[in-house]
Chain A
């Protein structure tokens, strides 16, 4: 088995807010991320797939297909969007880096021909990232 990782980038805005809490509670927990006007990041997405190297092609997965799936399922939906307001899964879940990693996993799982999803890593900035391995 071998792991293969492909990167993609998208830029999006978001804010952190829990409707069940008071404004003071949101500001206490989320700090400047609670600003309702939102703020943005250049996200980097790393998708790692696992599989066996195909004897005839030498590929684990066709990179073009992987790129196309990432573009279609994630980047085209998230890029230059306000995650809270324009991406359905974040109407309820707060678009933290953790929740974005989980959402990307759900968008990609089962859609990558010939390999299985191993890890989704989302960088909100170079010093901060979340990993999701599909664990319950």
Chain B
């Protein structure tokens, strides 16, 4: 049976939202206080969801210790207590949390093979969060199809 397993990780980092393709005034107008030249920081919460068959012999989708090691190596070790603007991934792209979310997803997708990485959700503050990809929809569709087949 396919189940989804999620785990939350934390990291603290700074960033500055600034697009080189825009004028100083436009950057200020679009990004507001996030455009402060000295940057600012957040305590990010990164929620990683993996999906897969629950192995009969372990009762697990994947070994949580291995997922922890992978996320710590690929993501937390890379971004924690760092300035995101200096990371090679954000030389051409603004380190918004949308972009961070997509990059974290790509890093984990490439590095973790014990189960399928299906979603990354990042809370920038307790009031805003970002998800990539929006995979719950696929799970819901799958469920609805199962339901329809039973009718």
Contacts and interface: CB of A to CB of B under 8 A. Distances in A.
A98 B67 CA distance: 15
A133 B54 contact: no
Contacts of A126: 8
Nearest to A136: B1
Interface in B54-77: 54, 57-61, 63-65
Interface stretch (B81-89, B104-112, B135-143): B135-143
A97 interface: yes
A131 B4 contact: yes
Interface residues of A, number: 30
A16 B113 CA distance: 23
A112 interface: no
A118 B1 contact: no
A134 B59 contact: no
B142 A133 contact: yes
A108 interface: no
Interface in A85-136: 93-99, 101-102, 116, 118-119, 126-136
B29 interface: no
Interface in B98-151: 139-140, 142-143, 146-147
B137 to A, nearest CB: 11
B3 interface: yes
Contact of B139 (A95, A96, A102, A133): A133
Given A116-B147, A118-B140, A126-B8, A132 B57 contact: no
Given A31-B65, A135-B142, A136-B2, A128 B7 contact: yes
A129 B58 contact: no
A96 B58 contact: yes
A20 interface: yes
A102 B1 contact: yes
B6 interface: yes
A96 B140 contact: no
Interface of B: 1-9, 49, 54, 57-61, 63-65, 139-140, 142-143, 146-147
Interface of A: 16, 18, 20-21, 29-31, 93-99, 101-102, 116, 118-119, 126-136
Given A16-B59, A98-B61, 4 more contacts: A94-B59, A102-B3, A131-B4, A135-B2
